[in-house]
Structure 1
Amino acid sequence: MHIVFFGDQHLDSLGGAQVSMRLQREFLERAGHTVTVVAPRMHGPRAGADDPANVDLPSMPITADREYSMSWPGRATDRFLDRAMTHRPPVDIVHVQADFWGGFIGHRYAHRHGLPVVHTMHNRVDVGIRAVTPLHRPVLAALNSWRRRALPGSGSGADGWAFLRGLASGASAVTAPSTHFARRLEEHDVFRPVDVVWNGIDDDVRAATIAAAPVAPPEGRPRFVWLGRMSPEKRLLPFLEAFVASGVDAELEIIGGGAQRAAAEKIVAGIPHVRFAGRLSYPETLARIAAADALVQTSIGFETQGMTPFEAATLGTPSVISDPDIAAELGGGLWAVPAADADEGARVAALARTLRQAASDIASGVAPEPLPEVAESFRQSSRTAAMIALYERVLAG
């Protein structure tokens, strides 16, 4: 098969969806399929060499560090893309893994060429936009207006679910990376049924990481690790407030970058054994997770899957989980933060208590163990096999 991926961001840029799509491409190619990746061209110092699998669309940078960019979904982009695709094998299926301009461009391409679409929903659009702006209602209304112009006939509505419903209207199948997100998509009539296909971990990197890990963990303080984008929806700052309030004698490593780093460093200034590692490569990040006694996941209601606790579980590292949906999806091998009301102070206090419990359990040698079936089901090879079966079902249908 020749599968064409559409993304909002170039796969060389930072982000969980980009990591997942890179793995999907690699394992599809290992299985003998051809993958073309259509995404906005990168700008700035991280813009890399041309990859023959990529179609880099004309774009404009949209962040100060020029890490992220956008391509305008319109006739000029359509023409550029159609010209670029004439030099490639005939396309069998379009796989849209984008929620904004990449989604519009992908669905427009599929519609022009009469191709079936599989759409993977990566984004809780309503929660994400509400987390970063108090003007989320007018922003969502504007996004829906843009969607209707870019995708005529994709439906009405002005909220986040209407936006996703409009994107899914052109799809033959919709997938979600978790059971809880699939359930919400169905409950809001985005699509039915929604297939659950987890994002996965690289089989080879996982095996190498486990092989390189020490047989017995070193003695000393409990070691916590937090990783992700340093932005409000990830709740790094409340976590650090909880860590300070917990008073635990533990090591903490924070991996990632973002606009909140300076504020985060200020909260833990003077606290011993806290280290900011910055952005690390995928193998380096997995090695740090495997070396930790516990991973801490702190966003609530935002994640469509929450990759990091699954990566931790498949490496044998338990997690402190703030999001009850993610805790239920994992099924075990974790400390669940008790549900608190919407008051952030109560949530911080609950997380502080859970961190104290986790540190005590680790020190006593009674930390929970992740479920073995999670490790098996999270391997990328098994996820790719599931997606290929879905592609074949759509093509047969």
Structure 2
Amino acid sequence: MHIVFFGDQHLDSLGGAQVSMRLQREYLERAGHTVTVVAPRMHASTGSATQGRSSATQGRSSATQGRSSATQGFVDLPSMPITLDREYSMSWPGRATDRFLDRAMTRRPPVDVVHVQADFWGAFIGHRYAQRHGIPVVHTMHNRVDVGLAAMTPLHRPALAALNVWRRRALRAVGESVAGSDGWAFLRGLAAGAAAVTAPSTHFARRLEKHGVFPDVDVIWNGIDDDLREATLAAAPAERAAGRPRFVWLGRMSPEKRLLPFLEAFVASGVDAELEIIGGGGQRAAAERIVRGLDGVGFVGRLPYSETLRRLAAADALVQTSIGFETQGMTPFEAATLGTPSIISDPDIAAELGGGLWAVPDAAAAATGRAREAERVAALAETFRRAASDIAAGTAPTPRPEVAEAFRQSSRTAAMIGVYERVL
């Protein structure tokens, strides 16, 4: 088969969807299939900081960025940078982009399946391409659009209304008849052109079905590179190194990830522990101010994927702090498959993992606004104390072995191939 991935962002940029798509591409090609990746051209000077690149074959050097490279299995669309660091960009879904893409695809084999793994311009461009050429679409929903926008701006309702207007105009032949102005209407409009919809977690799949996005959503977790997992485990020490409890936080430093409340909770907990923060983003300066002068806290920036996994395996616990935003939340699964338990703030992710964690009680269910966040910070601080005590006593929970087996990318690719064959 020839499968064409459509993404909102270049695969050399930071993000969980990009990590997953790189792995999917590698394992589909190992299985003998052809994959083309269509995404906006990246404007940053280098992709070396990419969190998810697990090997040289999963990314491209900076010398190949900034040009259409259909002959290499990538089509970089004309784009404009949308963040100050120029890592993220967008391509306008219109006739000019359609013509550019169609010309580029003439240098690739005939397409069997379009796999849209985008939520905005990449989704529009992908559905437009499939509609023009009569190709079936598998759409993977990666994003809680409503929650993400609410975390970033108080104007999320008018922003969602505008997105729905944009969606109806961009997808006139597919989802223009889907009415509504909220996040679920937006996703329903995207799914209108799909032959199958997948989601990376059971809880997100059931929400999509409940809100009428698609009648039967396939659950296919994002996975971890089988070989890299084995190498990481083989290099890990057989016993825990002596010392204070070691926590690690990993992710994009933006409001929906709740980095700042997490650090406030860590300070308030008073635990005698080490904390390593991996990642980058706009909130780094504010985060450093919160813990300035605190012993044992380090910001290490963005790391290669293999090094990130090594540090996850060496940690006593991962801390996951977003609530309601993640459609899977890959980091707790990556930690679990390496034998590292997690402190989990999101009850849906805790339920999906099924064990091997410290769940943060949502004591703020009846509160609102600042009072709700203050109670959540207090609950997280208390969970820190409990986790540090368990780690010191040698009674930390153990992740379930079934999670490690089900999270291997080879098994996830086999499941996705089944979906492709079904829609064909």
> By the TM > 0.5 criterion, same fold?
yes
**Would you say how many aligned residue pairs link Structure 1 and Structure 2?**
395
- Give, in whole Å, the separation in 2 of the partners of 1:39 and 1:27: 19
State the partner residue of 1:381.
410
Structure 1 residue 297 corresponds to structure 2 residue 326: no
- The residue correspondences of 1:70-89 to structure 2 (distance < 5 A) are 70-89=90-109
State the partner residue of 1:35.
35
Structure 1 residue 121 corresponds to structure 2 residue 150: no
State the partner residue of 1:371.
400
Structure 2: gaps of 5 or more residues:
48-61
- Give, in whole Å, the separation in 2 of the partners of 1:82 and 1:240: 48
Deviations, residues 255-295 of structure 1 (Å, cap 9, x unaligned): 00111111111111111000001110100100110000000
State the partner residue of 2:390.
361
- Give, in whole Å, the separation in 1 of the partners of 2:203 and 2:304: 29
State the partner residue of 1:55.
75
- Give, in whole Å, the separation in 1 of the partners of 2:242 and 2:268: 24
Deviations, residues 310-348 of structure 1 (Å, cap 9, x unaligned): 000000000000000000000000000011224111000
Structure 1 residue 257 corresponds to structure 2 residue 280: yes
Counterpart code for 2:318: L
State the partner residue of 2:194.
171
State the partner residue of 1:23.
23
SS of aligned partner of 2:271? coil
Query: Which shows bigger deviation, 50-59 or 346-355?
Result: 50-59
SS of aligned partner of 2:303? coil
- Give, in whole Å, the separation in 2 of the partners of 1:224 and 1:14: 22
SS of aligned partner of 1:369? coil
- Give, in whole Å, the separation in 2 of the partners of 1:128 and 1:287: 29
- Give, in whole Å, the separation in 1 of the partners of 2:92 and 2:258: 31
State the partner residue of 1:339.
362
Match of 1:322 among 333, 339, 345: 345
Deviations, residues 22-59 of structure 1 (Å, cap 9, x unaligned): 00000000000000000011113126243511011111
State the partner residue of 1:351.
380
State the partner residue of 1:96.
116
State the partner residue of 2:128.
108
Match of 1:281 among 304, 315, 329: 304
State the partner residue of 2:50.
none
Match of 1:158 among 177, 181, 200: 181
Deviations, residues 136-174 of structure 1 (Å, cap 9, x unaligned): 011001000000000015111110000000000000000
- Give, in whole Å, the separation in 2 of the partners of 1:18 and 1:322: 24
**Structure 1 length normalisation: TM-score?**
0.99
Counterpart code for 2:200: P
- Give, in whole Å, the separation in 2 of the partners of 1:110 and 1:28: 20
State the partner residue of 1:200.
223
- Give, in whole Å, the separation in 2 of the partners of 1:271 and 1:44: 33
Match of 1:183 among 189, 194, 206: 206
| Runs (4+) off by over 4 Å | none
- Give, in whole Å, the separation in 1 of the partners of 2:406 and 2:227: 15
Structure 1: gaps of 5 or more residues:
none
- Give, in whole Å, the separation in 2 of the partners of 1:13 and 1:245: 34
- Give, in whole Å, the separation in 2 of the partners of 1:390 and 1:327: 27
SS of aligned partner of 1:171? coil
Counterpart code for 1:97: Q
- Give, in whole Å, the separation in 2 of the partners of 1:49 and 1:100: 27
RMSD of the alignment, in Å?
0.8
- The residue correspondences of 1:178-257 to structure 2 (distance < 5 A) are 178-257=201-280
Counterpart code for 1:271: L
Counterpart code for 1:225: V
Counterpart code for 1:214: P
- Give, in whole Å, the separation in 1 of the partners of 2:191 and 2:231: 38
- Give, in whole Å, the separation in 2 of the partners of 1:89 and 1:263: 49
- Give, in whole Å, the separation in 2 of the partners of 1:108 and 1:340: 45
Counterpart code for 2:34: T
**Structure 2 length normalisation: TM-score?**
0.92
Aligned sequence identity (%): 82
State the partner residue of 1:131.
151
Once the two structures are TM-superposed, the CA of residue 217 in structure 1 deviates from its matched residue by: 1.1
